[in-house]
Amino acid sequence: MPLETPLANFETGVMFWAGRDPGETLSELRGMGLRCGQLGIPGDLDLSCAPAWKAALRAAEFTVVTVFAGYNGESYADIPTVQDTVGFIPARFREEREARTLGISDFAREIGCHGIGLHVGCLPEDETDADYIAVREMVRRIADHAARNHQTFALETGQEKAESLRAFLIDVNRENVGINFDPANMILYGTGDPIEALGVLGQHIFSVHCKDGDWPPAGQPGALGMERPLGSGSVGMERYLRKLKQIGYKGPLAIEREAENAAERLRDIKAAIALLTEIKAGLA
């Protein structure tokens, strides 16, 4: 099904979360001039809200390009905690999270969205590792379910090096599996320069986040870097957009900002919209 409102190349969008009234959430985003985004679904959200989201999206003429799954029990406190709680790596959560992800794919189908996304967690590099194999098989089963729903399935970047993620994608061997590229995550986790990573992962990129951050503090093993408002961190937004253009990316630019409170988040998103508008004008 084609998008009802065609999006421009590099159209500015936002990563936002379900939980409040869909109509109120979308009118806030439309008030900032946005027409597209990626909808995150918290692990405890009742998925029976799909019809309400579908109606609100239609009324607001707003396109959700990806539905992102979050899971109960996840914590991003520091790198060891991420390894222990996030995505498909912790074996104790796999069965529950696989079922939930199939539900997320069905939710996305119900609201007319053609992509799902998530963090799989910190993949081992050793392809004979039992966790690696279990996660690969899980990704294949979810990918096949998503394919039946006419969806792509994007893995969020950050918790592994670009080369490892690329090797994993090739091993998964499903056409509808690719990447949601987040340049800040690579910096926050210290996994590599995001602009170089774009060169490695280019052909596998389905969608991108525009997020900023600083490298982990020196001398504190396991610590994550700090997320920053767009333009204030170490990514370099202009060189990021230039590189995206160079590798032929044409999809939306989804601003992602997790701030301390709602007012700060809104303020930072508005500033990010202005920054992206300015940078895009310079690229034209």
Q: Which residues bind Mg ion (CB under 5 A)?
A: 182, 209, 256
Query: Cβ 280 to Mg ion, closest distance in Å?
Result: 20
When the beta carbons of 109 and 209 are compared against Mg ion, the nearer one is: 209
Closest CA to 212 of 191, 237, 181: 237
When the beta carbons of 56 and 243 are compared against Mg ion, the nearer one is: 243
When the beta carbons of 15 and 57 are compared against Mg ion, the nearer one is: 15
Closest CA to 63 of 237, 170, 207: 207
Other C-beta atoms lying within 10 Å of the C-beta of residue 141? 12
**Helix-, strand-, coil-residue percentages of the chain, each rounded to 5:** 45, 15, 40
Query: Cβ 219 to Mg ion, closest distance in Å?
Result: 26
Query: Cβ 157 to Mg ion, closest distance in Å?
Result: 8
When the beta carbons of 256 and 268 are compared against Mg ion, the nearer one is: 256
Closest CA to 87 of 102, 72, 77: 72
Query: Cβ 121 to Mg ion, closest distance in Å?
Result: 14
CB 116 within 8 Å of CB 100: no
Which residues are bridge partners to 42 per DSSP?
none
